[in-house]
Amino acid sequence: AFPKGSILNRFGVTFEPDNNTSWESSPCLYGMVVESSWYNFSDEDMRGYEVLSNKYSRGVPMVLDFAFRDGSCPGADSSVRPGYRCVNGNSSCVNSTSAEGYFCKCLEHYDGNPYIPNGCQDINECELREQNPDLRDLYPCDGICKNRLGGYDCRCKPGMKGDAIKGTCTEKLPLAAKVTVGKH
């Protein structure tokens, strides 16, 4: 990892010839910036210059901790200065914690690119939890889910009451009453 607090504006990789190593004995030279937890060195990776590019044909992930370095988010009592970038709807400003600066992010329940006009779009939580069961804990709903701008509503199914988001919907009529109604 690059040291915390250091600001890196560009990077490059160069290889210097080493008189002690011949090209034949060590023909592979790789250089990449990659998320450190993601890559484990293996001898296999040295067996030919196409091993890595075949193994990771889609590329390797790297984490960019970027920020605008020409200021910070405006404070509650300061006016927005010219050139300030978090000006799109449905986005907000975050002060960088790794070094001086700030970046923008979409508001909660919005997703997308906060740097382009209308880049932050409402998340359809109901559709997402429908399509992806992994997201059901993130967007809980034990009832009828309905998307709205900046969130979603979740009601108990007809004939039930309670808090459908907390999953506490119960039958409106007590069991005994229902049984009686059923007899008539």
Ligand X SMILES: *[C@@H]1O[C@H](CO)[C@@H](O)[C@H](O)[C@H]1NC(C)=O
Please report, as ranges, the residues that interact with ligand X according to CB under 6 A: 38-40, 72-73, 75, 93, 95
Nearer to ligand X, 67 or 145 (CB): 67
Q: How far is the CB of 71 from ligand X (least distance, A)?
A: 9
Instruction: Count Cβ atoms below 10 Å from residue 131 Cβ, excluding itself.
Output: 10
Q: If DSSP codes are grouped into helix, strand and coil, which group holds residue 95?
A: strand
Nearest CA to 29 out of 44, 11, 49, 47 is that of 49
d(CA 153, CA 147) in angstroms, rounded, equals 6
Q: How far is the CB of 42 from ligand X (least distance, A)?
A: 9
Nearer to ligand X, 55 or 157 (CB): 55
Nearer to ligand X, 3 or 75 (CB): 75
Nearer to ligand X, 34 or 173 (CB): 34
Q: Which residue is nearest to ligand X (CB)?
A: 75
Long-range contacts of 62-70 (CB under 8 A, 24+ apart): 62/33, 62/34, 62/35, 63/35, 65/96, 65/98, 66/103, 67/96, 67/98, 67/99, 67/100, 67/101, 67/102, 67/103, 68/101, 68/102, 68/103, 69/7, 69/99, 69/100, 69/101, 70/101
Q: How far is the CB of 135 from ligand X (least distance, A)?
A: 23
Nearer to ligand X, 5 or 133 (CB): 5
Q: How far is the CB of 37 from ligand X (least distance, A)?
A: 7
Q: How far is the CB of 112 from ligand X (least distance, A)?
A: 20
